[in-house]
């Protein structure tokens, strides 16, 4: 079944699209100008990716049943990723507002504990949680397939392209987070 290889490629391309699109969406959202389109769009990834991760997890099992332990690991890792994303969305919005207020010389609280705490949640804790969740889910998928090979035919060009895209994104986002 070539579905797994193509689903993997779709997953990688969607990951690329979601990461690239949010870069260009720092435009005020007209229904509530304190948030941006980036903030609004940011709620979609769990709704898109958790089902795709689950389909990859289930397809990789082939006819084998997944173990309860692996399913619990999947749920915990998905929860860590979603919670990290939720923390990131809210703290990133607050951080953007703080920086815009300082830039427009309205009020500058960048030297306060409020800013430092917001920055910690935005750029440290949330990113660690998101990366642990994403990499954990990826590792779980690899482990699951390694332990219970589905025995499906692989569309190699799709699998290789997906690996290159996803590997580049993970590497690039890890480098970005080190600054």
Query: pLDDT per position in the chain (179 positions), as tens?
Result: 467 788 888 989 998 888 888 888 888 899 998 888 988 888 999 999 999 999 888 877 666 678 899 999 999 999 999 999 999 999 988 998 898 899 988 888 989 999 999 999 999 999 999 989 988 998 998 888 787 776 767 788 888 898 899 888 877 776 655 55
Which domain covers residue 49, as residue numbers?
A: 3-177
Q: What pTM was computed for the model?
A: 0.82
Angle among Cα 95, 33, 18 to the nearest 5 degrees reads 65
C-alpha distances (whole Å) from 92 to each of 23, 35, 89 are 13, 10, 5
Give the model's pLDDT for residue 178.
Answer: 53
Total domain count, the chain: 1
Place of tokens 């070539």: 2
Contact 176, 19 (CB under 8 A): no
Place of tokens 């860590």: 80
Give the model's pLDDT for residue 158.
Answer: 85
User: Which residues does 145 contact at the CB level (< 8 Å), separation at least 6?
Assistant: 60
Give the model's pLDDT for residue 1.
Answer: 47
């Amino acid at each position: 079944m070539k579905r797994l290889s193509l689903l993997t490629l779709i997953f990688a391309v969607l990951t690329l699209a979601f990461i690239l699109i949010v870069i260009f969406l720092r435009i005020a959202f007209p229904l509530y100008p304190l948030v941006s389109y980036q903030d609004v769009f940011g709620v979609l990834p769990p709704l898109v990716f958790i089902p795709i991760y689950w389909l990859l997890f289930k397809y990789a099992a082939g006819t084998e049943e997944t173990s309860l332990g692996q399913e619990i690991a999947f749920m915990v890792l998905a929860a860590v990723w979603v919670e990290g994303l939720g923390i990131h969305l809210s703290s990133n919005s607050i951080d953007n507002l703080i920086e815009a207020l300082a830039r427009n010389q309205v009020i500058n609280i960048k030297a306060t504990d409020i800013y430092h705490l917001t920055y910690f949640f935005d750029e440290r804790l949330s990113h660690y949680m998101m990366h642990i969740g994403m990499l954990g889910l990826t590792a779980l998928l690899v482990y699951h397939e390694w332990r219970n090979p589905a025995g499906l035919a692989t569309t190699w060009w799709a699998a290789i392209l997906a690996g290159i895209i996803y590997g580049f994104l993970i590497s690039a986002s890890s480098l970005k987070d080190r600054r």
